[in-house]
Amino acid sequence: MADAKWGMVIDVDKCTGCQACVVACQSENNVPINTEDIFNQRRAIEWIRVERYWEGEFPDVKARFIPVLCQHCDDAPCEPVCPVFATYHNNEGMNVQIYNRCIGTRFCANNCPYHVRYFNFWEPEWPDTLTHQLNPDVTVRSRGIMEKCTFCVQRIRRTSREADRDGREIEDGARELSPACVNSCPTSALVWGDFNNKNSKVSNLAEKEMSHNGSHHGRGYKMMENLGTSPNVIYLKKIDKHAKETVAHE
Amino acid sequence: MIPGDFQIRKPSRIQVLILGILGIGGLVGAVVGLVLGAFVITAWLGLPLDVFGLNEGPEQPIAFPHTTHVKSLGMDCTFCHRNVTVGAAASVPAVGLCMTCHKTIGDGNEEISKLRDYHSSGLPINWVRVHRVPDHVNFIHEPHIRHFGEKYGGPAGTCQLCHGDVGRMVKVKQVRSLKMGDCVDCHKANDAPTDCTTCHY
Amino acid sequence: MGGSATAVAAAACGVPEKELLVQAPLEMPEDLVTGLDNWYATIDRQNRNGIGIVVRVMEGRAKKIEGNVDYPVNVGKHNAIADAGVQSLYHPDRISAPLVRTGERGEGNWEEISWTDAVSRIASRLEGVSGEELVLVTSPIGGHMGSVVNSFTDAFGSTHLQYEPLERTVLQASIKNVFGQDVMPDFDIENAAYVLSFGADFLNGWVSPVRFGRGYGDFRHAEGRERGTFTHIESRLSMTAANADDWIYVKPGYEGVLALSMAKVIIDEGLGDDAAVASLTQNGTNDLSQFDPSNVSAVSGVPAQRIREIAHEFATKRPAVAIGGGSAAAHTNGLFNLNAVHSLNYLVGNVNKKGGVIFNPMPPIGLPVGSRSSSFQQMSTLSDRMANREVKALFVREADPFYGMPSSSEVRKASFGVDLIVSFSGQFDDTTAMADIVLPEHNYLEDWGTDVPDPGPGYQVVGFQQPVVRPFFENRGGHLGTKNFGDVLITLGEILSNPLSLPGDDVKTFKDVVEQGARSLYGLNRGSVKSDDFRSFWQGVLQRGGWWDTGARYDGPSPTPPALPVSPQEPISGSGEFALVPFESAGLSDGRTSDLPWLQALPDPISTAVWHTWVEINNKKAEEMDIREGDVVEVTSPRGSIKALAYPHPGISPDAVAVPIGGGHLGGGRYSKERGSNVFSILEPLTDDKTGALAWGATRVSLRKTGDWVRLSKFENTKPDISEDTHRKIIPLTNG
Amino acid sequence: MQEHVQLTQKQINEDLLTSVLGTPRWWWPALGFFVLVFLIGMSAFGYMLNQGVGVTGLNRPVFWGAFMVNFVFFIGISHAGIMISAILRLTQAEWRRPITRAAEVLTVFSLMSALMAAPLVHVGRPWRADLWVFPYDFARGVWINIRSPFVWDPSAVMTYLTASTLFVLIALIPDLAIIRDRSTGLKRKLYAGMALGFRGTPRQWKLQTIAGILLSALVLPVFVSVHSIVSWDFAVQIGPEAWHSTIFAPYFIIGAIHSGVSAVATLMVVMVWAWGWNKYITPDHLDAIARLLIIVATAWFFFFFLEWVFALYTLEPAEMAMRKLQVFESPWSWLFVVFLFTAYFIPVPMWLFRGVRRSLFWMFVTTILVNVGMWLERFLIIVPGLMRRSEFIFDWGSYHPSIIELAMVAMTFAWVGMGMLVFTKVFPLIPLFDIKEGMVGRDEIRIGRRIVPASIRE
């Protein structure tokens, strides 16, 4: 899988804000339970979160949803600032976070324009019985370290290893490979795959929706592209029949 | 300078010499000591007890003789550690597996009667772990066996690369540090991926 | 010596002792390979409408739930509630053994007893109790559990009420009235070009959100189709409304006249199907003139021009589908509203067609449908009977009427008139807290079962539920732990020498019933799993999570459109400044999933609030009343008052307030007990006059600031500013 | 401009060794107070180690707070030492003599405080901070990321700490020799060791002087780099608005000098009050440092102004939102007003008056104000910048330090106080030899009709 470049295409026009991805992620990745106190302290951890923005006043009011997760930027601002290489870009196009290396300077979190890095302010706690649910493939993070979306790298590892063992090919969009959020999304707003595979769904979407040589002929945009982070997550613009066209990067 | 500010004699040449030698010697000594200390500490972190010659392997609830089974009987490692070619853990055999032979073999042996006691009482055997990697390391036996198996002809030849010649050990002990540096060196030598997410996620 | 030294050294470094041990089990189960996972297909029971799921099991523990790709209802998709099922399995407050009450009822003093003891105690208490005096209250049950319960009630002659707080009685009655169908039809959103929805929050909680969510995705963007247009009409900006192209605010209870007004526009402009128009208007004898948009505009609050526009769009963008439900049905004129809404479908000729309303066939092998709920009327009759000591024994399973019924405190009081209350819940919900004997049933991940999805996908489907893990409390021994509900009923029947009529001679347990059902399906020799022998059929069904036959579609007659309900009914509601709109938040459903921490911590899509009960109020109105976010507000109806935290936002009308359902449990474990307020408790017991359904949207309330302030836990920013993406750097828009 | 108070060398020895050879009555209580605050802070730190960073007020997105403010603040304070010692020595400013050592010692202890604030208590897992500060990890084969300003930080700070410690030590040698000769027993042996056999021979004097000058010259680049690097901790970030500014390095350095020199002025006043060294630290000295401060403060204000010009010139909406928050929204608005007045608008106009410049009390008050203001300045840069009202308005959050955090902030201040007190007990805080040298340099003789200095500087 070393020649892959994983990425996601998120169709904002399909996202209903149902939060299925949020729980799917928490369940897969042993994200600690966000208690009421943790919300009040503004330390809740949601590797993928759904943001809601208001527009207008009653009765002409719109609420718009957008799922935000680690953009796995090619030029990630978080990577150069980590003093110990706890976060870096790997050869699969992913921005990875190595928990055991992390010392918790929180420099990366400050420098992330997408606010998708989360810090473990407390030791995560589960009641005894709930620990049976924890995914053994994912490290339970201790306090004092950063964590963030990994594109469910544990699934990539397990699936490619088992495919190697059994000598089979992995199809594009295979469920055992896809991140938990993508599998859960009821409206298929999230599509995930390999940008290096020219036949993958994400490549086709990128080809169709992104601008090429300056001609913009689709809905594709990258979030806050003006910062030069070159994310590996492509968003497809929300369609509002009453809206005037706006451009993501001014 | 008022007279009497400094009331010290000029040291003699020999004193200066001694002080100089002592000073330089002390500095060199400190550096050497630090380096040695660093090595000892690293070694201690690697294999704690080996440094002091104490590593003889833990006492097990049943003194299982690998020597008999592997060396004398020539059993393959995978006969008991079956999971090693499929998954993460090598796994210890179920008591039932032992009993396939030991129902009949080994009457009168104290250790085997212990085994039979376990089997009849239905309690699991709590073996003492010899090799352990921390939680944040996802070590999977299977790809290692697969890789080296191709090189050394099957799983049997590959186990000893990390575990030493278990067949000759009365008590199984850890022979490699199995610290990250150990893993990384081996991965480099074998062209295995050294991306951190190979093991850490 | 070396071993102990290592142990000491390791202990000093903080390695837990268990990590220094490797247990060699006695015998290794075949499929248990350390570190390898298996995915087992089963049925989700957390959602009100069962969806097919696969569960990842490692070393005997369920780890993750995902949608079953094969299952026709959800095709691999699931939602947050389904995902949180693993937490209900490993919930720290699950009941692990039969309990008998030791103190006064409701005091919460329990003693563990063995199953045999518990069952014999119940049996002895049931002696001399006539069938009428034994009442069974369950959630709507379909599939084989439904037939077992039916044979139990048949054997004892007892009453069976299928209770859920947000009942579907009105919807089912309307479907029967308008389409003549006994089972819910499927609304084929994915193929529709235009969706017009009245009050049905179908992306969030209504009927089958996963199925509709899947359809919605395709409706927006899919290969080979134009993007569909969606207009939602509701009194609150629900999650579904937020996703519509246009959200139209309508005064609560006036959905019906609005729909009729649209019908009038379509008929007047000659846009409707002629045959349908003739039938709907009884060949023009039905006078629709009173529904002229200009008249309706005044009562419904929707501008006449908008009514004409929407009617026009609805009639011209075909295929179009009109869906009614949710808050539109929750008024005293609920059935009128839904009849009017669903009649619109005839005008655009989409009935039993692709992209419209697709009828479902009756389930195969005579299985009961899973969502026949009893009306609130029947439940309040039960409450009266309980108060009058006419009920001697009450069995409650998976239902929580003491939480979900309006004026629940009175119902709870009435329960003191019952001699014996037996709860089968595995969790201390509000009803279980009042029980005399608790017989905890298996979690659905440990249990057998079948499910008939309602609505189905347009063809016959039977979902199969299998235990994906061994019962969690198995290690407590056979006399303690949990058991299957059906098995308990069968045992009770045997002990009271009133044996249940089970299908087949050697059918002894509920699992046998399920297997026997599979045998009947095998006998049909059609559908998704075909094989030569029953064993492999059985395995195939379990592997795929069910059986379905895409060919077995509705083949009944096409219904003739009934006359439009032309005598308008005004919704009746109490007095009070605000209309109260109770709604299902994303995670808590109708209160049944409040005990799961993931779902309590799940930000509500609109307010992003968590762990609390809040009251949504228009931001301008709140400013007028000097209410800020987090102000503790007393919401008072004639039936009582609750406290909730104010959340002002622009998505609600100034004359309505909305309160999420799911807070204020008196029981239910550490994550839900006494958390927030129960909005059901202040609902007026008004009913829809035709069906007797609870008009849960008809209560009016007044607000009062208490002066206290509590931080409203939520995911968005701390300040009560409105989050607005001013520069469109986050969500750029395009007009398509 | 300097008054002529000629003191005998004996007098100088007696006066300036009071702190070492005698113990004033207030010394033990003062030390006790600082130790107590320090211990409270350490227990707070222990509590944090036990519980996690959750005990602070930090949250998402305000990941840095009082600790980082403190780090920048103490690095700023530490700039006094080099400013006074190196620059004034190289420019041969005569009035530096009595305050060089105090300034250098302040540098050393505030650098230690800075290290305490940032790598130690700041990180989530302090027990692994060695990976950052001493990153030579042979066992794992993973090294440090030299692209990170957090790697430049420790190297710059450590270099600076080494240089300033050397500075202090070299200047101490003649004074240690004096104490050695005035003590007996074990004490004498200890001082003898530290004095490295200094006997006041011309060659020793020469070496000592050259070492001082050389160090002054060599340390200047470090002086510039340390705070530049600290500013790059912020300036390399694209995330928070208003941080990625090219002006940051000089702006931080001049701000550091502002607060550092003010701190030295405060210290001078305290020294006079504590040991009555008014013969050595005269109003002339205060006057001189206040004049210097006027220049420094105004230069700093110019950079502060420039930063705003840059912000207002581009009118980037995100940055403007952040600036609006910084200036117009409570509580930042009143913190901003307090900052502006304490850091500039109160002290600088006051220093324009000769009476203020020469008054111990007023100099104490104004310089303390400057440092209050400068602490707030860093707070106002770091916290509102991180609150990020700008783009992801959806999850911006506020921050206020918790009690535990404040205890640790107090700990770093107490460390400086404690260090200074202990230092004065062991070493003279005013360099005896330097004063004497000044006295000699001040001797004048009449040659013909002209009065010329008696000695010529080397």
Residue B195 in contact with partner chain D when CB distance is under 8 A:
no
The DSSP-derived string for C212-233 is HHHHHHHHHS-TTSPPPEEEEE
Q: Which residues of B touch A165 (CB under 8 A)?
A: 86, 142-143, 146
3-class DSSP state of C663: coil
pLDDT 10s digits, C348-396:
988 888 889 999 999 888 888 877 788 899 998 999 999 999 999 999 9
- CB contact, 8 Å: D283 with chain A? no
Task: Count how many Cα atoms sit within 13 Å of the Cα of residue C577 in the half-sphere of its side chain.
Answer: 10
Is-contact A209 A218, C-beta < 8 A?
yes
Residue C579 identity: A
- B8 to D180: CB separation less than 8 angstroms, yes or no: yes
C16 touching B (Cβ < 8 Å): no
Interface of C with A in 496-535 (CB under 8 A): none
Q: C697: Cβ–Cβ under 8 A, 6 or more apart, which residues?
A: C235, C252, C253, C327, C330, C331, C579, C580, C581, C582
The C-alpha atoms of residue C484 and residue C497 are separated, in whole angstroms, by 20
What is the distance in angstroms between the Cα of A31 and the nearest Cα belonging to chain D?
A: 16
Strands (E), D176-268: none
Percent of chain A with pLDDT over 90: 61
User: Using 50, 70 and 90 to split pLDDT, how confident is the model at C435?
Assistant: very high
Residue (of D174, D98, D196) closest to B2 by Cα position: D174
> A25 and C620 in contact (C-beta within 8 Å)?
no
Q: How far is A91 from chain B (nearest CA, A)?
A: 8
pLDDT at residue C154 is higher than 80: yes
Domains recognised in chain C with CATH numbers:
2-89 (2.20.25.90), 186-358 (3.40.228.10), 578-709 (2.40.40.20)
- How remote is the C-alpha of C394 from its chain's centroid? 23
* Integer angstrom CA distances of residue C390 from B154, C395, C402, C415: 77, 14, 18, 11
Provide the residue type at D191 as one letter. Y
Lowest mean pLDDT among A25-39, A86-100, D93-107: D93-107
Cross-chain Cβ contact D178/B4 below 8 Å: no
* CA-closest candidate to residue A71, choices A97, A50, A45, A95: A95
CA distance from start to end of chain B:
69
D71-107 pLDDT, tens per residue?
A: 999 999 998 777 777 888 777 777 888 888 889 999 9
CB proximity list for C327: less than 8 A, separation 6 or greater: C199, C201, C234, C235, C236, C252, C581, C583, C697
What is the pLDDT at residue C394? 93
pLDDT at C4 over 50: no
What CA–CA distance (Å, rounded) separates D164 from D158? 10
Average pLDDT score, chain A? 89
Which residue in chain B is spatially nearest to A86 when comparing CA positions?
Answer: B196
- In 3D space, the residue among C50, C139, C680, C136 whose CA is nearest the CA of residue C400 turns out to be C139
Q: How many CB pairs under 8 A join C and D?
A: 26
Lowest mean pLDDT among B93-97, C485-489, D39-43, D57-61: B93-97
Here the tokens at position C359 are 């009828």
Helix segments in C13-142, DSSP class H: 80-83, 85-89, 115-126
Backbone angles phi, psi at C490, to 5 degrees: -60, -45
Domain boundaries, position A215? 6-236
Residues 198-227 of C with CB under 8 A from A: 203-204, 209-210, 213-214, 216-218, 220-221, 227
Please count the structural domains in chain A.
Answer: 1
Could you read off the pLDDT of A103-117 as tens digits, one per residue?
A: 999 999 999 989 899
For residue C272, what are the CA distances in angstroms to C233, C266, C277, C296, C526? 21, 6, 6, 20, 40
Chain B closest CA to A154's CA: distance in Å?
6
CA Rg, chain D, in Å? 23
pLDDT reading at C97 higher than 90:
yes
* Cα R_g (chain B), whole angstroms: 28
Chains that touch C (3 or more CB pairs under 8 A): A, B, D
How far D279 CA sits from the closest chain B CA (Å)? 19
Which of D319, D318, D300 has its CA nearest to residue D253? Answer: D300
- Please report the DSSP string for C556-606 in residue order: SPPPPPPPP--S--PPP---SSEEEEEEE-TTTTTTTTTT-HHHHTSPPTT
Q: What is the DSSP letter of D199?
A: -
Quick check: A230 and A75 in contact, CB under 8 A? yes
Task: Please give the helix or strand (H or E) that residue C159 lies within, else none.
Answer: strand C159-162
Q: DSSP 3-state assignment of C551?
A: strand
Q: Which of D6, D17, D199, D201 is most worth mutating to test chain B (most B CB atoms within 10 A of its CB)?
A: D199
pLDDT digits (tens, 9 = 90+) for C52-83: 999 999 888 999 999 999 999 999 999 999 99
Please tell me the distance in Å from C719's CA to the nearest CA on chain A: 12
Query: Residue C523: what are its φ and ψ, rounded to 5°?
Result: -65, -25
Residue A163 lies in a domain: yes
Residue A148 neighbours by CB distance under 10 Å: 24
- Write the CATH number for A133: 3.30.70.20
The pLDDT-based confidence of D31 (bands split at 50, 70, 90) is very high
- With beta carbons under 8 A apart, name residues in chain D contacting B19: 197
Higher-pLDDT residue of C311 and B44 is C311
Q: How many CA atoms lie within 13 A of B5 on its CB side?
A: 25
**What is the separation of C-alpha A198 from the centre of its chain, rounded to a whole number of angstroms?**
22
- Return the sign of the alpha-carbon dihedral for residues A215, A218, A219, A225: negative
- Of C566, C535, C529, nearest to C547 by C-alpha is C529
pLDDT at residue A1, rounded to an integer: 55
Give the residue-averaged pLDDT of A244-249: 54
Distance CA A139, CA B200 (A): 8
* Model confidence band, residue C36 (pLDDT cutoffs 50, 70, 90): confident
pLDDT of B93 reads 85
In a domain, A249, yes or no: no
Q: Which two tokens stand for residue C547?
A: 């059986």
Per-residue pLDDT band for D118 (boundaries 50, 70, 90) equals: confident
Query: pLDDT-derived band of residue C136, with 50, 70 and 90 as boundaries?
Result: very high
In chain A, what residues touch D316 (CB-CB under 8 Å)? none
Query: Is C13 an interface residue toward B (CB < 8 Å)?
Result: no
Tokens of C651: 């998505």
Q: What percent of chain C has pLDDT over 90?
A: 48
B interface mutation test: which of C4, C23, C26, C33 has the most B CBs within 10 A?
Answer: C26
Give the pLDDT score at D433.
80
Q: Token pair of D214, please?
A: 């050389």
For D135, the closest of A77, A84, A102 (CB atoms) is A84
Nearest to C137 by CA among C425, C441, C406, C449: C425
Q: How would DSSP label each residue in D260-284?
A: HHHHHHHHHHHHHHHH--TTTS-HH
Mean pLDDT, range C506-512, rounded to an integer: 89
Handedness of CA D177, D181, D183, D186 (dihedral sign): positive
Rounded Cα gap, residues B79 and B101, in angstroms: 13
CB contact under 8 A, B201 and A2: no
Q: Give the residue ranges of DSSP H helices in C90-132.
A: 115-126
C64-73, C148-157, C405-414: the lowest-pLDDT one: C405-414
B4 pLDDT above the threshold of 70: no
Mean pLDDT of chain D, nearest integer: 86
Cα A67 to Cα A52: distance, rounded to the nearest angstrom: 9
| Per-residue pLDDT band at A250 (split at 50, 70, 90) | very low
Give the closest residue to C400 by CA, choosing from C591, C585, C583.
C591
Report domain extents, chain B. 13-46, 66-92+127-198
For residue A56, list chain C residues with Cβ-Cβ distance below 8 A.
Answer: 650
Tens of pLDDT, residue by residue over A72-88, are 999 999 999 998 889 99
What's the whole-number mean pLDDT along residues C583-602?
A: 90
Q: Which chains touch D (3 or more CB pairs under 8 A)?
A: A, B, C
Q: Which amino acid is at C357?
A: V
pLDDT at res. B7:
64
Nearest to C58 by CA among A162, B142, A137, B141: A137
Element (H, E) at D169: helix D149-181
The verdict on residue A248 lying in a domain is: no
The SS3 assignment for C358 reads: strand
Q: Which residue of A has its CA nearest to D49?
A: A144
Give whole-number Cα distances, C284 to C259, C269, C275, C416, C559, in Å: 18, 14, 12, 57, 19
Instruction: Quote the CA–CA distance of C317 and C319 in Å, as a whole number.
Output: 6
Residue type, C723: S
Q: CA-to-CA distance for C46 and C599, rounded, in angstroms?
A: 12
3-state secondary structure of A29: helix
Pick the closest to residue C546 from C453, C442, C447, C446 (CA basis): C453
Strand boundaries in C368-499, DSSP class E: 393-397, 420-423, 437-438, 449-451, 459-465
Q: Which domains does chain D have, with CATH numbers?
A: 58-400+428-453 (1.20.1630.10)
Residue B192 Rama label (left phi>0; alpha psi -120 to 50; beta): beta
Q: Across residues D106-133, what is the average pLDDT?
A: 85
Residue with tokens 């949710």: C326
C336: nearest Cα among C266, C283, C279, C257: C257
From chain A, the residues in CB contact with B195 under 8 A are 90-92, 96
Q: Is residue A96 part of a domain?
A: yes
Q: Which of C715, C726, C731 to mutate to test the interface with D (most CBs of D within 10 A)?
A: C726
Stretch C130-150: mean pLDDT: 89
Taking a contact as any Cβ pair under 8 Å apart, which residues of chain B between 19 and 78 contact chain C?
48-49, 54-60
Evaluated on CA atoms A145, A150, A155, A159, the torsion sign reads negative
- What subunits touch chain A, counting only 3 or more CB pairs under 8 A? B, C, D
Backbone angles phi, psi at C659, to 5 degrees: -130, 130
Q: What is the ipTM of this complex?
A: 0.89
Q: How far is CA C670 from the centre of its chain?
A: 23
* Most confident region among B64-68, B108-112, C731-735, D248-252 by mean pLDDT: D248-252
| Mutation to test the B interface, candidates A153, A156, A160, most B Cβ within 10 Å | A153
